[in-house]
Amino acid sequence: MTQPKENPAMTQNSYSDEALIKNFPGFTNQYATVNGVRLHYVEGGSGSPLLCLPGWPQTWYSYQPVALELAQKYRVIIVDIRGMGSSEKPQFGYDKKTMAADILALVQHLGLAKVSIMGHDIGGMVAMSFAFNYPAFVEKLIVLDGSHPTEGMLQMSLIPPTGTFTEKMDGNRPYAWWMGFNQVKGLPEQVLAGRFQYLLDWLFHYVMIDDRKMTSLERDVYAASYNDAESIRAANAWYQTFVEDIEDAKSYPPLEMPVLAIGSYISYQYMQMGLPPVAKDLHLVGIMDSGHYLFEEQPTQVLKAVFNFLT
pLDDT tier for residue 175 given thresholds of 50, 70 and 90: very high
11, pLDDT greater than 80: no
Rg over alpha carbons for the chain, rounded to the nearest Å, is 18
Report the candidate in 122, 136, 2, 151 with the shortest Cα–Cα distance to residue 53: 122
pTM of the predicted model as reported, rounded to 2 decimal places: 0.95
> What pLDDT sits at residue 13?
80
Lay out the sheet containing 115-120: strands in order across: 28-34, 37-44, 74-80, 48-53, 115-120, 138-144, 255-264, 279-287
- Is residue 37 over pLDDT 90? yes
Cβ–Cβ under 8 Å, residues 224 and 12:
yes
Beta carbons within 10 angstroms of residue 269's beta carbon: 14
pLDDT score recorded for residue 230 = 98
